[in-house]
Structure 1
Amino acid sequence: MSLKPYLFLPLLLALFACSKQQKPSTETPGGIATTIQPGGQTVGLGSEQAAEGVAIQPGMSAPLQNRVYFDFDLSHVRPDQRDALNAHARYLLAHPQARIRLEGHADERGSREYNLALGDRRAQAVQRYLMISGIDKTRMDTLSYGEEKPLASEHEEASWQRNRRVEIVY
């Protein structure tokens, strides 16, 4: 009888004892982490907040910041806009009857068709972020205005920055 198999048993036990149980969490390519909450809800958060979850507070009012801004010619959610989207996710999770419309916008540069498509991609990006946060897609409608409804009409970078947005309408 060989003793070699029995030499590996203490090693396996030591490895098993040292393993750390982690919360179920996944990281998406856009840097959005999701955490499974008690009851099976999945909440999307910025990476630094993933372990803490989202506190749902019944009776809270809709978030005041209803605009999500984008960089030039891009449609991914910027890291500095995630807090606003997390606030909307908390509100929507606390109010399952609430519905929203995501209105995508672009600045005046580019063709009308291109800007309509870009506004649509931006609205879809916000919708995906909220879906990762646990909001059902059927509660969200998307619409693109392209360059048709600018916030600012000047022809300069500061104005163009304000026009590259998605508006969240309850």
Structure 2
Amino acid sequence: MVRGLCTETTSVALMGITLLKYKGTNKTIDLTPFAKLIGLNAQILDDLKNLTCPELHKSKGFCDDITEGKLSFPVTYFLNNTKLPHHKEKSERLLQILKLRTEDILLKQEAVQILEDSGALDYTRKRVKKLQMDLILEASKLGTNPELVKLIEGIKNNEG
């Protein structure tokens, strides 16, 4: 799951990070791990915010990923966590809602509740925080770079 997200979200981050390296003190360091972390963090954070962020709901719409039938990070985590009580019934219900590609607010709220009750959203929040800590650690290896410092501050302030 994570490998697919890395591939999907890394190309734009790689371009930006490659440009940043020319202002850093160490121009020979491999920026690929850092770029992958940025891409992965951005995708998982976007998945989380789509389901939990009221400000995003106002501008983009309420839980658009559910309307799109998207198997986002929290959904995939839930579906793979088969040890949960009543997992079979809840996963079947969640998949049913996703397949509907519904605009119905009550069905979307039900899907979010399944993810919240299962701990999938809490796990996703923890995963984002861990990725952000990994980003800070990886950034510290890259040398002094004012743009990179701004980028990391922005990431730390954007937790979902």
Q: TM-score range by the shorter chain?
A: under 0.3
Q: Considering only CA atoms, is the larger Rg found in Structure 1 or Structure 2?
A: 1
Which has the larger strand fraction? 1
**Higher helix fraction: Structure 1 or Structure 2?**
2
* TM-score between the two structures when normalised by the length of structure 2: 0.22
